[in-house]
Structure 1
Amino acid sequence: MTDLFSAAGLDDNAPQPLADRLRPKTLSDVIGQDHLIGADGPIGRMLANKRLASMILWGPPGVGKTTIAQLLAAGAGLEFDPISAIFSGVKDLRAAFDRAEKRRQIGKGTLLFVDEIHRFNKAQQDGFLPFVERGIVTLVGATTENPSFELNGALLSRCQVMVLKRLEDTALEKLLLRVEAETGEKLALSNEARASLKDMADGDGRYLLNLAEEVLSLGGVSPLNPDELAKLLQKRAPAYDKDRDEHYNMASALHKSVRGSDPDAALYWFCRMLEGGEDPLYLARRIVRMASEEVGLADPTALMIAGEAARTYERLGSPEGELALAHALVHITTSPKSNAVYAAYKLARKSAAQTGSLMPPKHILNAPTSMMKDLGYNEGYKYDHDQEGSFSGQNYFPDGMQRQSYYQPDGAGREASIRDRMQHWSKRRAELARQSEPKR
């Protein structure tokens, strides 16, 4: 197997990125893919039988696709010949096939690893077929895209698709323990910050190692908390121009007057900003935002009126269009207030960031290809319109994630009826869950 680090002319004493130093030396060192490389997994069985088939490794970034391909070549006694579909064309493919032909003549096999294989066009993908069929190369392609849509049926029929998983918390923790064992240093992180570091990686082992390397480079002794970690590893948001402080102060006063249901104060600050030369379209955008953030579903017409006022100003311009903006401003200020949707949105965004790339449950995934059906997509899905009350009560969150309750309408305005419906659905969901429990 080619040592790319040595091939670059670097000796063992040259600095290496942590991700390279911790690259697995054997398949058993690969973390998080036991369903493929374990003794009972398809790759594990191939190596045990000393018979390696062409395959497509499909999975998110940083989960070990390239490493697995390198180790497969070593385990099967094949020459590892890597190319990237991003940087390669027909000429590069021909050269790779020529190299494989020459190796075969001297009794040496080739594992041709093609990174980002989905980026090759149909003709280029077809070019692999005769060399795969004749056994000149064992093709291992890597892709982050669904092979059902991105690869030719002819090529797929000659390759097994291996689905790699994003690294879960347990696997990421193992990587961090390896980092500490390799470097002899303990990551200066509190337990909460350590969890945050893994959340930042979003299932990407390579990215986690890069983050860990940054933490180690800080040379800190006191453990960092999550806020300190975020400041060190994230770019700082740009500050506002200080010459525009008054502009933002007035915008804040306008927004808080609307939230406080004071139409007179809201109109005052609105007009102060107009007199100061503020762009009315900026104010139109603020009014639309406030209708959504402060009124929400307590009065669904508020957002519609705000949007129409903005369009009216675009048609009429000043000064006639400014009256429409004042109309909308007074409407949203005197509307019942609810930030339930806004609060739910923030909670959902936080949850989405923490859970990263968790897949939807398989029963709600469409299965337009036979491969996707074999993987269990759409199995057991219930069409809600065919259920009692048009409500199936099925789970729509990712498998393994607890059900969340982000949206909590407080009953203001029209949200009273929404709250009643949601309470009914919650009871119905619990009833259906009890009915589906196995009888003892």
Structure 2
Amino acid sequence: MSADLFDTASARDEPPKGPRPLADRLRPKALSEVIGQDHILGPEAPLGVMLASGALSSLIFWGPPGVGKTTIARLLADETDLHFVQISAIFTGVPELRKVFEAAKHRRQNGQGTLLFVDEIHRFNKAQQDGFLPHMEDGTILLVGATTENPSFELNAALLSRAQVLTLNRLDLAALERLAQRAEKDLGRELPLKGEAREALLEMADGDGRALLNLIEQIMAWKLDGKLDTDALTTRLMRRAAKYDKSGDEHYNLISALHKSVRGSDPDAALYWLARMLAGGEDPRFLARRLTRMAVEDIGLADPNAQTHCLQSWQVYERLGSPEGELALAQAVVYLALAPKSNSVYTAYKAAAASAKKTGSEPPPKHILNAPTRLMKEQGYGAGYAYDHEAEDGFSGQNYFPDGMKRPVLYQPVERGFERELKKRLDWFAGLRAKRGRSGAE
């Protein structure tokens, strides 16, 4: 297979027959025409600075579909007089890559550099990614990779150390509106939509410029007598499913948003992220499990009922299933968001784990060990143990930590919710312990 098959520059010399799709006709001809990515293309932004200084380096474009990754790469090649070659990691194997590199070496010998654009670069395994390194280092290619996945997880460290990662944003409604106006200008007429229907169309695109143009092209092909309202539009168009990868970055990003909204006591935001995940097809049992974790980690003993409420909501979902049971999860989300917050037990347990690791196999003090045999009694097991029920106030104040270990303070309750009462009890016990002179070994 010839490397020329991957060379889109030659493909553009012979355009395919038939009408060009709207998305192709509106592809920007210059970087200044790119919509929605000013944070990387502006004069003081990374690409603007690189182009102004003449020091363009290898790049990784990370962002969702339809935001301009391929277009920007092509325009960078035009701006820098580099030969543009595009391949996809899905369809390209090692033999084809070798031919691409050989062709790039031949061009370099003739005085022209190559910008190699690799779409879906995360599809290459780590060994294949290593294959790019020598050709990047000796200047044979300037690599521009595109990925929808988090480069930190999907690309190897060696490749990341030689390329700058730039994040491209999903297009907001203002950027999509500009794109719609550009389409109307190209088509010579306005979209046959009422105001609210136009807004609904932009929302349907879900931040994807290419998807918006495809929807517009579909709408413009309809034969209509007037303008459509929102109901008529949504009846005619199949709403695009929200982009949600249940095993990828979006999964972790959205559960993080839900968790932090609960922690931040914002029930409206928490409900929104719950709904987003459920609409994307997330397993409600996963959400029930994570909600219970939130109750333990971020609310704890400030409201002991939070954990119980989550477990009951989980059980309700198991009995009712979807969609009825999802309301129980929503109820748990609101309860958690409005509950008093404390991570005191969570913090105390982490400190206890660190202390346990540090002290190793130190045994308990002998006075709290049982002595079921005569030998153990002779060894002092159980000697001097104070039975707390027989002590004044039901509290002996004796030491329960290993002999020689300084008594740590691990659990420190906050002045919120039920932990106020627990703090009073702790302070009372601490006072009794100090009064009776049994604070433990120093």
Which TM-score applies when normalising by structure 1? 0.55
Aligned equivalent of 1:83, options 83, 87, 90: 87
What are the equivalent positions in structure 2 for 1:42-53 lying under 5 Å apart?
42-53=46-57
Q: 1:224 to 1:343 in 2, by over 3 A?
A: farther
| 3-state DSSP of counterpart to 2:221 | helix
Matches within 5 A, 1:274-313: 304=315
Q: Structure 1 unaligned runs (5+)?
A: 236-296, 311-338, 349-382, 391-423, 426-440
Q: After the TM superposition, which residues 202-221 of structure 1 pair with which residues of structure 2 at under 5 Å, given as runs?
A: 202-221=206-225
Give the partner amino acid of 2:220.
L
Please give the residue correspondences for 1:212-361 in structure 2 after superposition, counting only pairs within 5 Å.
212-234=216-238, 304=315, 342=327
Give the match for residue 200 of structure 1.
Answer: 204
Alpha-carbon spacing, 1:3–1:136, altered in 2? closer, same or farther (3 Å):
closer
Q: Counterparts of 1:215 and 1:35 in 2: how far apart (Å)? A: 32
Shift of 1:51: 1.7
Partner deviation per Cα, 1:110-164 (whole Å, 9 max, x = no partner) = 0000000000001100000000011110000000000000000000000000000
Partner residue in 2 for 1:21: 25
CA deviation map 1:328-353 (0-9, x unaligned): xxxxxxxxxxx89639969x9xxxxx
Please tell me whether residue 385 in structure 1 is matched to residue 343 in structure 2: yes
Contact 1:118/1:145 (8 A) holds in 2: yes
Q: 1:8/1:345 Cα in 2 relative to 1: closer, same or farther (>3 Å)?
A: farther
Task: Report what 1:10 is aligned to.
Answer: 16
Q: Structure 1 residues 195, 99: CA separation in 2 closer, same or farther (over 3 Å shift)? A: same
Cα distance change, pair 135–189 in 1 and its aligned pair in 2 (3 A) = same
Pairwise CA distance, 1:219: 3.1
* Residue 69 in structure 1 maps to residue 73 in structure 2: yes
Match of residue 128 from structure 1? 132
Q: Where does the alignment leave 5 or more consecutive residues of structure 2 unmatched?
A: 1-6, 240-307, 334-340, 349-415, 418-442
Greater than 2 Å deviation, 4+ residue runs: 1-11, 297-310, 339-346
| 1:143 counterpart residue number | 147
Q: What amino acid sits opposite 1:10 in the alignment?
A: P
Amino acid at match of 2:132: F
- Once the two structures are superposed, the pairs formed by residues 159-198 of structure 1 within 5 Å of their partners are 159-198=163-202
Structure 2 letter corresponding to 1:205: G
Deviation string, structure 1 residues 368-406 (Cα, Å, up to 9, x no partner): xxxxxxxxxxxxxxx95159xx9xxxxxxxxxxxxxxxx
SS where residue 218 of structure 1 aligns? coil
8 Å contact kept, 2:9–2:85? no
DSSP 3-state at the match of 2:66: coil
Indicate conservation of the 8 Å contact 1:103/1:110, yes or no. yes
Counterpart CA distance in 1 for 2:132 and 2:111 is 21
Residue type matched to 2:230 in 1? P
The whole-number CA distance in structure 2 between the counterparts of 1:219 and 1:46 is 48
Letter in 2 for 1:218: W
Give the Cα–Cα distance (whole angstroms) in 2 for the partners of residues 159 and 43 of structure 1. Answer: 13
Q: Distance in 2 between matches of 1:306 and 1:41?
A: 49
User: Is 1:25–1:71's contact at 8 Å kept on the other side of the alignment?
Assistant: yes
Change beyond 3 A, Cα 1:385–1:3: same
Deviation at 1:231, TM superposition (A): 1.2
Distance in 1 (CA, whole Å) between partners of 2:179 and 2:63 is 18
Deviation of 1:226 after TM superposition, in Å, equals 1.2
Residue pair 1:188, 1:221 contacting (<8 A) in 2 also: no
Task: Evaluate the alpha carbon distance shift between residue 343 and residue 209 of structure 1 in structure 2; reply closer, same or farther with a 3 A threshold.
Answer: farther
Q: In the comparison of the two structures, how many residue pairs are matched? A: 267
Per the alignment, residue 111 of structure 1 pairs with 115
TM-score, normalised with respect to structure 2: 0.55
Paired residues of 2:83 and 2:112 also in contact (CA < 8 A): yes
In the alignment, which residue of structure 1 is the partner of 2:100? 96
SS at the partner of 2:343? helix
Contact map agreement 1:86 1:119 (CA 8 A) in 2: yes
Once the 2 structures are TM-superposed, how far is the Cα of residue 222 of structure 1 from its aligned partner?
1.2
Instruction: Give percent identity, aligned residues only.
Output: 52
Rounded Cα–Cα distance in structure 2 between residues aligned with 1:384 and 1:186: 55
**Residue pair 1:167, 1:204 contacting (<8 A) in 2 also:** yes
